[in-house]
A = this chain, B = another copy of it.
């Protein structure tokens, strides 16, 4: 791959990671992994204002991770990119590894 295409790939990867890199957005994905939900339930789960959650949702939609459908007054969001969940398995492994490292550090102190 040439330098320029490589840079485009890095940019695209960074874009997706950036869209995921927020505790509320991670909570949303975790909540949606078992099925679709409306904004009000998502907001309650995430523990944040609806208007704020609505903005986080639109970030996830525009990076292609979520999709939505309308049902009367409600807007129902669901996971579009299932691969994202594998992704979270990976990051959980990393978090666990870090926790283990800290634990080992504590032992020798």
Contacts and interface: CB of A to CB of B under 8 A. Distances in A.
Interface of A: 3, 6-7, 9-14, 16-18, 20-27, 30, 47, 64-65, 81, 83-84, 86-88, 90-95, 97-98, 101
A91 B26 contact: no
B10 A30 contact: yes
A86 B64 CA distance: 21
B10 A27 contact: yes
A10 to B, nearest CB: 4
B23 A20 contact: no
Looking at chain A's contact residues, the main secondary structure is helix
A17 B20 contact: yes
A94 B84 CA distance: 7
B101 A91 contact: no
A18 B16 contact: no
A14 B22 contact: yes
Contact of A23 (B7, B87, B101): B7
